[in-house]
Amino acid sequence: MKKIKNVSAGLFLLLFSLASLFVGRNWVRQSIQNQAVVYNSRLNPTIMIPGSAASNTRFNNLILILNSKSTPHSLLRVRVNTNNTITYSGRIKANDQQPYIVIGFQNNSDGYETIKRQARWLNLAMQALQKRYHFNHFNAFGHSNGGLDWTIYLENYFNSKKNTVGTLMTVGSPYNFSESSPNDRTQLLTDLIKRRHHLPPSLVVYSIAGTETYKDDGIVPIESVLAGRYIFQNVVHSYTQITVSGADSQHSDLPTNPQIIELIQRRILDFPISPLPNTNNGGTN
């Protein structure tokens, strides 16, 4: 009887040791995975959206210039298709904590209904990217309608309890479409004003307008860009209006305008450079 008890006790100890080893290995594996997620969450990408009729290669020249002027960063291009699938090209290099991500849409046509669909596709892309790369903080850049995509996304889809967005920089974004009078509010502007209190309160916004004639940038009326003040002022951490003129101030040239490149370096990439020349600051909130 005593021998049987000893065998039972030995068997129990063996099973306990095996169970402990199994649990321990799982704990170590999970701990490594958690550490990897924490490491990846240090990613702080700059995510860019082009305007209508532009693809995810729209900012190639801009990124080449930025990489030539400061620490080079990798580039990942994302395309969201009309069937809600996502395709990737390029990659985020190991240890690059400030990569560029450019999101384009298969349907890149103009119009309010399309822009609302693009905001929904942007949400799909952001969910996929965050699941894939485990980041919870980013900066946003949008040219033309790309700025509208970001604004609709932040008002309707962004979860500020789980994620943070540092800076939103919009360039030539027509918040009132082609209207040059703030009194003639389009449905777009009306809707954005209505949901403005859903914007992240910690958001820092720079709204940049280009001007060739002091009325427009060749396409977008300057007053349409400045209508952003009705959306952002007094609800975000700070809102700054900036107007650039002179060379490269035409609508399609704005992303590679030297003053805007310096603004990206200073306000998004935190790259120390000399003071900006000839920048008209429209005021902060």
Beta strands in the chain (DSSP E): 46-49, 75-80, 86-90, 100-105, 137-143, 164-171, 204-211, 238-245, 280-281
Same domain? For 33 and 83 the reply is no
pTM for this predicted structure: 0.83
The model's confidence at residue 247, banded by pLDDT at 50, 70 and 90, is confident
Range of the domain at 125: 44-281
Q: Which two tokens stand for residue 34?
A: 């958690």
Same domain? For 10 and 123 the reply is no
What whole-number distance in Å separates Cα of residue 194 and Cα of residue 190?
Answer: 6
**Adjacent-strand bridge partners of 79:** 87, 104
Half-sphere exposure of 51 (CA within 13 A, CB side): 18
Same domain? For 1 and 129 the reply is no
Q: What is the pLDDT of residues 214-233, one digit of tens each?
A: 899 999 999 999 999 999 99
Same domain? For 146 and 5 the reply is no
Residues contacting 141, CB < 8 A, separation 6+: 46, 47, 48, 49, 168, 169, 170, 171, 264, 268
Averaged confidence pLDDT in the chain: 87
Same domain? For 256 and 156 the reply is yes
Same domain? For 101 and 17 the reply is no
pLDDT at position 279 is 42
CATH of the domain at 89: 3.40.50.1820
Same domain? For 4 and 106 the reply is no
* Cβ contact 155:192 at 8 Å: yes
Same domain? For 36 and 58 the reply is no
pLDDT at position 82 is 98
Same domain? For 102 and 161 the reply is yes
Same domain? For 171 and 245 the reply is yes
pLDDT at position 270 is 82
pLDDT over 50 (residue 276)? no
Last residue of some domain: 24, 40, 56?
A: 40
What whole-number distance in Å separates Cα of residue 255 and Cα of residue 66?
Answer: 11
pLDDT at position 115 is 98
Q: How many structural domains compose the chain?
A: 2
**Adjacent-strand bridge partners of 27:** none
What whole-number distance in Å separates Cα of residue 180 and Cα of residue 178?
Answer: 6
Give mean pLDDT, residues 185-200: 98
The model's confidence at residue 36, banded by pLDDT at 50, 70 and 90, is very low
pLDDT over 50 (residue 280)? no
Closest CA to 188 of 107, 113, 252, 117: 113
* Cβ contact 66:269 at 8 Å: yes
Q: What is the largest CA-CA distance in the chain?
A: 103
Same domain? For 15 and 69 the reply is no
* Cβ contact 207:173 at 8 Å: yes
Of the chain, the percentage scoring pLDDT greater than 70 comes to 80
The model's confidence at residue 181, banded by pLDDT at 50, 70 and 90, is very high
**Adjacent-strand bridge partners of 164:** 137
Same domain? For 115 and 222 the reply is yes
Closest CA to 205 of 269, 142, 253, 125: 142
The model's confidence at residue 42, banded by pLDDT at 50, 70 and 90, is confident
